[in-house]
Structure 1
Amino acid sequence: MTARTRAAIRRVEADHLWPDAVAVALSRFEWAFKEPGRYLSGPGDSPGIEIEDGRDDLEVALLYLPAGARADLGRLVERIDVEFERRTVPDPGWMSEWTAGRWWWWRIRER
């Protein structure tokens, strides 16, 4: 990630998230993806915090970033999405209005 992207992320965090929200979200996925195979879980020190919450934060950042920074962060998010889809299966269940635009909440983790 470029210095310009990091600066833009800090501005978005100050206005729409909280300090280090994007770094924390990225680290959640890094931690979860260290597990072998298709197994996924969130960090053990954050009970009740799902990695999908991190993806929500990344989506907010992408929404407010300027085009260049959005593309820069978007490349990382695209890789995260591909890996998340690989490690989960679609949930055929009911979808709420809150999760309608958030496909990552409609995936089932294999245990």
Structure 2
Amino acid sequence: MAIHRAERHSDDYYVYPGATDRALRRYRAFTLPPGRRPRCPQDAQCSCRGCSFDDVRHARDVLDEVLRALPPRARAELGRRVAVLDAAYLRCTLPDPFADRRQWRADRWWRRRLAGGWEGA
């Protein structure tokens, strides 16, 4: 209920009813594939609400926005789920030492990972 309320009252274009579920599904799909090869997030071809989820980093951005808007108990509950996926993301991606020069929002740790190719490349 708290997530739905946060989504409904958000001023962020990318946070809308159902966006949290979509972001969680996208993040989980990226972080939990079979195999041990490093994954490389792909850039979204379009910045619309739908296509932007092609970039898993955008899904994590949405989760961050929702977490900030939630009351403490709901934030902790969602935060535990996201933390598990964060750990998997760190395991399946590689650091980008030049992210501060290449990456929009390089202040966010999940954007400081190598990206820009096809996922699984």
Q: TM-score scaled by structure 2?
A: 0.73
Question: For 1:31-59, what per-residue CA distance to the aligned partner results, in whole angstroms no more than 9, with x for missing partners?
Answer: 222242244357xxx76620110000000
Cα distance in 1 for residues equivalent to 2:29 and 2:99:
29
CA root-mean-square deviation = 2.3
The secondary structure found in structure 2 opposite 1:89 is: coil
Residue 23 of structure 1 pairs with residue 27 of structure 2:
no
For structure 2, list consecutive stretches of 5 or more residues without a partner in the other structure: 43-49
Residue 104 of structure 1 pairs with residue 110 of structure 2:
yes
Residue 88 of structure 1 pairs with residue 88 of structure 2:
no
Cα distance in 2 for residues equivalent to 1:87 and 1:94:
17
The secondary structure found in structure 2 opposite 1:90 is: coil
One of 64, 71, 91 as aligned partner of 1:66: 71
Question: Sequence identity, in percent?
Answer: 34
Residue 10 of structure 1 pairs with residue 4 of structure 2:
yes
Give the structure with the higher percent strand. 1
How many angstroms does 1:98 deviate by? 4.5
The secondary structure found in structure 2 opposite 1:107 is: coil
Aligned residues: 102
Runs of 4+ in 1 over 4 A off after TM superposition: none
For structure 1, list consecutive stretches of 5 or more residues without a partner in the other structure: 1-6
